[in-house]
Amino acid sequence: MIYVVATIQLAAGQREAFLAEQRHLLPLVQAEEGCIEYNATVDVALTDESPLRHDVITMQEKWESLDALKAHLVAPHMKDFRDKVKAMVIGTKVEVFEPA
């Protein structure tokens, strides 16, 4: 089992446009071989003092194997998606984990 947390920093005001593109992508990725879970998430305030990152999307992913994740990264629909959102994204941090 492979877990991925991808933090995507968006340009100011691009959240809704990015999520609209993401909604088109989600069923394609979720249908990929080896995809167990693939979801876009946004910050929720736990307390009144919790800062919300309005221009950050966090992807929560679960894959059957590292090979399945690698195949996902080069899938044609992923290239198309990256091309469509390129101007909206300032930076991305991807963390990959396996069970301890």
This prediction has a pTM of 0.91
Per residue in 48-77, pLDDT (tens digit) is 887 899 999 999 999 999 999 999 999 999
Tell me yes or no: is domain 2-97 CATH 3.30.70.100: yes
Two structure tokens written together for 88: 């909206």
Cα distances (Å, whole numbers) of residue 50 to 38, 43, 46, 47, 79? 25, 9, 6, 5, 34
- What are the pLDDT digits (tens) for 31-44? 999 999 999 999 99
What is residue 92's three-state secondary structure? strand
Say how many Å lie between the first and final Cα of the chain, rounded: 11
- DSSP β-ladder status, 89-97 and 2-10: antiparallel
Residue boundaries of the structural domains of the chain: 2-97
